[in-house]
Chains A and B, each alone.
Chain A
Amino acid sequence: MWVRIGFVLLSICSGIMVFVYAMAWLLIPMEGESSNIYSRAINDRRGIRLIAAILIPVLIALQLITSTLHLGFVGFVGWPTLLAVGVVILIWRNANESEKAFIDHDVVPLLGADTHGDGRRWLMARVALGVLVGAGGIVLLVEGHTTAAALRPVGGTALVVAASVIIFGPWWLSLVRDLIAERQARALAEERAQMAAHVHDSVLQTLALIQRSSDDPQNVVRLARAQERELRAWLFEGRPPGAIGEDATMLGEGVGLLQRQVEADHGITVQVVMVGDCELDEALRALLDAAREATVNSAKWSGADQVSVYAEVEADTVMLYVRDRGQGFDPDAVPEDRQGIARSIRARMTRFGGSAVIRSAPGEGAEVQLSMPRRQRVR
């Protein structure tokens, strides 16, 4: 789709690109196809014979008519037109399903050939009007040169432009509509990913905690109640769950909140060391969320009784390390799709141009190294 739009844009600049695109379309085989349209069309003997059988008599008739009526220019226009029609028929015969679908979807609306009834009548009127206005414009343009009237070439140009808008306008509109629909679909997918990350951080984490403390009914009640409050706040008040630093404006405050939250929820010591500080922005809040996820992971799975969080604000990046001395794991053995690391940590970081590196080995503890570029630099 994007390639096509690119070519459409380029074709506005220079007609030659349309030709290049057409050639590429003909000569480069589709994915999973061994032959291109051009070679198939050339090898379609039956099609060529059929077209020759129709086109040659038509051509001869045309030739005869034009020579008797002294309409030389019709012959001049007719030859290439008929040839082009023949080639188009050949291409259509030899295009495969997806190529036909493309022609159907993007080219046919250009000609308006897929409309029926009222639509067809309206189309005919539109094309007729367009041709009329365009012809008027061309006449004015041609005349303008001989009469040297200043207004006529301008008027002619305007009429030609108007004609092309009348004829091609709906097609352009449908292209733009496609574009918008595609953008909306992408935004929706991103929204979904963000939502999945939020649900994972809050609801799924809480459910895991509830399973682990099933022999402690009071704790289960406390967890469930807290999660219910959080989920309500998210659904009805629009406050994202698990987001830290909503109230904090500085990175240091945010890290402090993270420390208190994880210590309260998981009964583990979080040792925080901060070097420098800076204001929080969207990217750094994402960094905090990723850091919290890493800290919670350590608290839950490492078996260590302490997690170290070290954050350093440098001139153009913020580095944050979450380290435990627990049982560790083999980062390569964790499947790529495991929610915690993949979506909550890494995706959060990359969404804002940051990165996450995980260093661990069985028996050696684990360290998650987060790095986020800074938007506002210190002066």
Chain B
Amino acid sequence: MSTGSDRVAPAPAGRPRIFLVEDHAVFRAGVRAELGEAVEVIGEADEAAAAVELINERLPDVVLLDVHLPGGGGHAVLRGVLPHHPEVQFLALSVSDAPEDVIDVIRAGARGYITKTISGPELLQAVYRVAAGDAVFSPRLAGFVLDAFAQGGAPTTGLDPELDQLSPREREVLRLIARGYTYKEVARDLSISAKTVETHVSSVLRKLQLSTRHELTRWATDRRLV
């Protein structure tokens, strides 16, 4: 996972305040137990409408968001909160392997994506990282992004090269993350600092959210997002 025990990001102003949006009670209980005392869980919701209302009211630092939710899915929550409170950070959780689900929530504004098989300490790392404003890329997300930004598949017109192409360095970083390296291991392998790795990943996230590459828009259109 990209969120190994390499660096404990400083928790913003003490314990991050967490909100859980997840329709399986068993999983919510599991996450609560795993995060334990390291975070403050300030609320839970099991469907989109209730989640939007509660999040806008309580303004948590990080929302752990299930991609598949009754009443509109994860992106409905993102669209209900981010326009009013852009400071709330979202970390998407899923058991799904489908690229369109993952790309969807990222393009709707989530700061990262992790699978539900993630271990407790890794989940905590991911929460800290997102709370600090960094991006969290799981190997799978890195793979999807590499796929979507594959060289040669680029449409020729109306493209902003700044946004619609990955730099060779970003590609290298993503490739190592996809291979299962932690940020720290990526940094060591490429002889750069962990901070630089984070910068690259954040830049990729920005491209992912703003790019008009047709692979990305196609995924989004398939889900009637745009």
The chain A residues found within 8 Å of chain B, CB to CB, are 269, 271, 273-276, 308, 310, 312, 315, 321, 323, 325, 367
Contact = CB atoms under 8 A, between A and B. Distances in A.
A275 B140 CA distance: 10
A310 B179 contact: yes
A308 B146 contact: no
A308 B117 contact: no
B150 A367 contact: no
A68 to B, nearest CB: 92
B73 interface: no
A312 B146 contact: yes
Contacts of B21: none
Contact of A367 (B143, B152, B179): B179
Given A275-B147, A276-B147, 20 more contacts: A269-B117, A271-B140, A271-B180, A273-B142, A274-B143, A274-B147, A275-B143, A275-B146, A275-B150, A276-B150, A308-B139, A308-B179, A308-B180, A310-B175, A312-B146, A312-B178, A321-B179, A321-B180, A323-B180, A325-B180
A312 B175 contact: yes
The secondary-structure label for the interface of chain B is helix
Contact of B178 (A269, A310, A315, A325): A310
Contacts of B178: 273, 275, 310, 312
Contacts of A308: 139, 179-180
A200 B139 CA distance: 32
Contacts of A321: 179-180
Contacts of A269: 117
Contacts of B117: 269, 271
A275 B146 CA distance: 7
Nearest to A319: B175
Contacts of A274: 143, 147
Contacts of B140: 271, 273
B61 to A, nearest CB: 28
Nearest to A310: B179
Interface string B122-154: 000000000000000001101100110010100
Nearest 7 Cβ contacts at the A-B interface? A308-B180, A273-B143, A310-B179, A275-B146, A323-B180, A321-B179, A273-B178
Contacts of A325: 180
Q: In this complex, which of A271, A310, A321 has the most chain B Cβ atoms within 10 angstroms of its Cβ?
A: A310
Interface residues of B, number: 14
A369 B62 CA distance: 37
A273 B150 contact: no
B154 to A, nearest CB: 14
A275 B139 CA distance: 11
12 contacts: A271-B117, A271-B180, A273-B143, A275-B143, A276-B147, A308-B139, A308-B179, A310-B139, A310-B178, A312-B178, A315-B152, A325-B180
Interface string B97-135: 000000000000000000001000000000000000000
Contacts of B180: 271, 308, 310, 321, 323, 325
Given A308-B179, A310-B180, A323-B180, A271 B146 contact: no
A308 B175 CA distance: 13
Nearest to A323: B180
A278 to B, nearest CB: 12
A334 B156 CA distance: 51
A273 to B, nearest CB: 4
B13 to A, nearest CB: 32
A90 B179 CA distance: 70
Contacts of A323: 179-181
Contacts of A315: 152
Contacts of B152: 315
Nearest to A305: B119
A276 B143 CA distance: 9
A185 B178 CA distance: 45
A306 to B, nearest CB: 8
Interface in B163-190: 175, 178-181
A85 B196 CA distance: 84
Nearest to A269: B117
A227 B179 CA distance: 32
A308 B4 CA distance: 14
A274 B140 CA distance: 8
Contacts of B179: 273, 308, 310, 321, 323, 367
